[in-house]
Amino acid sequence: MKRFLLIITILTTGFFAKAQDAGDPDNKKQEKLQALYVAYITQELNLTTDEAQKFWPVHADFDREVKAVNEQDLGVIEREQLVLNIKKKYQDKFTRILGSGRTDTFFKKDIIFRQKLAERLRKMRQNRQNQGRPGLRRG
């Protein structure tokens, strides 16, 4: 019986390990972007190790709730309202860890990170476009 279980374990583990290794490269990129977000926020808020250990678990809950709202098929105003409600709900929790000033900074930087990404996206597209149309460089 022990041998039998061992066989199953090896086969299953092998499959899942392989699945992980061959995991979607897109997911890796998304993880990297999220890691950059964490790095950016940590840096901008000057989080200490102790603060980071308290802040990121709360942020995980906050992020889960916001994403749940974003996944719903809602109108723009309605969605923004729900996200705002979540932000208000978590404001106190963040304040307890970061203080009110840095909590405000967090909400600003959270938006700015995505703005930076959008800006980067725009630049990437422009670069690509310009490479396809070299005449524009002259203008």
Partner 1 sequence: MEKITDIQDELKQMSPLLSGLTQSNLYTIPQGYFEQLPEKLLAVARNSGIVEDSNQQQSDIPEGYFNTLADTILNRIKLQEGQSEHESEEALSPLLQSIRKINPYQIPVGYFETLSLEINPGLSDTAAEELKKFSTVLSVIQHKNVFEVPDGYFNSLSDVIISKLNIQPAKIVSIGRRRNIFKYAVAAAITGIIIFTGIKIIPSRPGGDIKPTTASLTEIQKLGVDLSKDSVKMEAEYANISDADIVKYLQSNGEDVNAALVASMGDEKNLPSSEDYLLDDKTLDNFLNNIEDKDLKN
The residues binding partner 1 (CB under 8 A) are 3-4, 7-8, 11-12, 15-16, 19, 24, 26-27, 29-40, 42-43, 49, 52, 56-57, 59-60, 62-64, 66-67, 69-70, 79, 83, 114-115, 117-130, 136-137, 139
Residue among 11, 42, 13 at smallest CA distance from 113: 42
| 48 and 109 Cβ atoms separated by less than 8 Å | no
- The minimum distance between CB 115 and partner 1, in angstroms, equals 6
DSSP SS3 for 45: helix
Cβ closest to partner 1, residue 18 vs residue 96: 18
Cβ closest to partner 1, residue 108 vs residue 125: 125
Token pair 């993880």 in the structure block, residue: 31
The token duo for 69 is 């709202």
